[in-house]
Amino acid sequence: MIITKSSAEIAIMRIAGSIVAAVLEELRKMIHPGVTTAELDAKAEQLTKKYHAIPAFKGYNGFPASLCASVNEEVVHGIPGNRTLKKGDIVGLDFGVVYKDFYADSAITVPVGEVTPEVQKLLKVTEESLYRGIAQARPGNRLYDISHAIQTMVESNGFSVVRDFVGHGIGRRMHESPQIPNFVGNDFNPKLRKGMTLAIEPMVNIGTYEVDVDLYDHWTVRTKDGKYSAHFEHTVAVTDDEPEILTLLRPELLPED
């Protein structure tokens, strides 16, 4: 069952989303050669506390950190640690909070210094595919309109969309119905309605869409061929007309510290 939210509930999610955006913006500024992913995680946790929110991922199914930091061929769910970022890397930062019992979830992928033209294109296409997907999140459309827009953008640029991980409904739980694949092919294709809140998140690979989960940490997802992967995500509300991105930075909404 898809849980639609009232405007009062969406107002809380807008604050949660603003906190997520503020944290990601601070982390983006820290991305330089030499920074470790553990330092990014510590900053995320510190800022979340400052905004009176709770990190959504820490302890979720046993995940050990507040931030997912996925470098280069890592697709999602990278565990922060003492890995030092170097020039030419890309790092996916996936972050979520709980604020007054509501979740918000967003991700960006950031280049570390200069990256190759192919990797620049990967970042650009993945982010653009997110916005193409978001544009379809309107009443009367169906879920697959989102999936189709993302898949078309990605594949027409010669990249592939990950199959094994997908976007999701979000609200009082981080993962609610429906699953939002970045490709057409599941069989649940509901009509979109006002009040649905959706975490749309294309995961895009340069090479094969196939991925493996790390055998030892049971979290880190990597491309099977070792080629780079990018990830962008927003939490979005379906409204009467234009979709509203809830994970945008609205400084006036940030809780006082």
**Owner of token pair 């033209």:** 117
Q: Closest Cα to residue 159, out of 123, 212, 213?
A: 123
SS3 193: coil
To Mg ion, the closest distance from the beta carbon of 174 in angstroms equals 7
The residues that bridge with 71 in the sheet, in sequence order, are 91
Q: Could you tell me the smallest distance in angstroms from the CB atom of residue 106 to Mg ion?
A: 6
CB closer to Mg ion out of 107 and 149: 107
Closest CB to Mg ion among 97 and 107? Answer: 107
Q: Site residues for Mg ion, window 215-254 (CB under 5 A)?
A: 233
Packing angle, helices 37-50 and 7-30, rounded to 10: 140
Question: Which residue, 41 or 233, has its beta carbon nearer to Mg ion?
Answer: 233
The region of 59-67, 92-100, 121-129, 239-247 touching Mg ion under the rule CB under 5 A is 92-100
CA distances from 248 to 160, 171, 202, 228, 237 (A): 27, 16, 17, 26, 12
- Is residue 199 a contact point for Mg ion (CB under 5 A)? yes
Rounded CA-CA distance 90/31 in Å is 9
Residues 105, 145, 176, 244: which binds Mg ion (CB under 5 A)?
105
Question: Binding string to Mg ion for residues 52 to 91, with x set by CB under 5 A, is what?
Answer: ----------------------------------------
Question: Which uninterrupted H or E stretch holds 4?
Answer: none
Size of the site for Mg ion (CB under 5 A): 5
- In the complex, which residues of this chain contact Mg ion (CB under 5 A)? 94, 105, 107, 199, 233
